[in-house]
Amino acid sequence: MSDGHVHTAGQAHQPIAKDEHELTYFEKRVVALTNLLREKGIITIDEVRRAVEEMEARTPTLGAKVVARAWTDPAFKARLLGDAKAAVAELGLSTDGINHLVVPENTESVHHVVVCTLCSCYPRPLLGEPPDWYKSAGYKNQIISNPRAALKEMGVELDEKVEIRVLDSTADVRYLVLPRRPPGTEHMREEQLAGLVTRDSMIGVAEALAPAPR
């Protein structure tokens, strides 16, 4: 939450506000609630700042780190597919807020794609905020009714022999797809491989990027 001012823990009564633009209805509610909690001593501005910084640090690069490790370490991959939360914790990454994390693997014969038909359940600690299209009724309807056609429209054309499994994310279970490792990456280090992993590939609506020609 950026307010255009510098605050310290001692400025307990200085209100949080934004100067850049007129606040929306929901932004006003957030500011009012935050100021009330601060005035009652329930939270401090530093706690708010840390929470915001933690949320902003959650990006798909965290999930990409998990995928790259799985591509290069068969033992880690086995642990990831068996108990994803425990394996992710080995990398020092948090999955707080996720009750049960499942990592399905895309292979030559099976392709997984994730949707949340009820709302927008998503592995935010590892991928950040979901894209707008993920929350749209159009995506939900298309990926459920005709996943092969929907994926083709998004750039993923699968052979008819490939089984497509649509996974419905819920408040209890979140999914992070382990995409197929691109061919020609045998020489690449883990950090380089992570650069080929995109957010969309971990949702299942894209393949991992191909490496640049050597």
Q: Residue 213: is it exposed, middle or buried by C-beta count within 10 angstroms (0-12/13-18/19+)?
A: exposed
Amino acid identity at 142? Q
Q: Residue 83: is it exposed, middle or buried by C-beta count within 10 angstroms (0-12/13-18/19+)?
A: middle
Which phi and psi angles does 9 have, rounded to 5°?
-60, -25
Structure letter (DSSP) for residue 97: T
CA gap 37, 17 in Å, rounded = 15
Residue 92, sorted as left (phi over 0), alpha (psi -120 to 50) or beta, turns out to be left
State both tokens at 200.
């969309």
CA gap 72, 80 in Å, rounded = 13
State both tokens at 195.
């650069």
CA gap 12, 202 in Å, rounded = 42
State both tokens at 180.
């197929």
- Entry field: residues in the chain: 214
- Give the residue numbers marked as catalytic: 116, 119-121
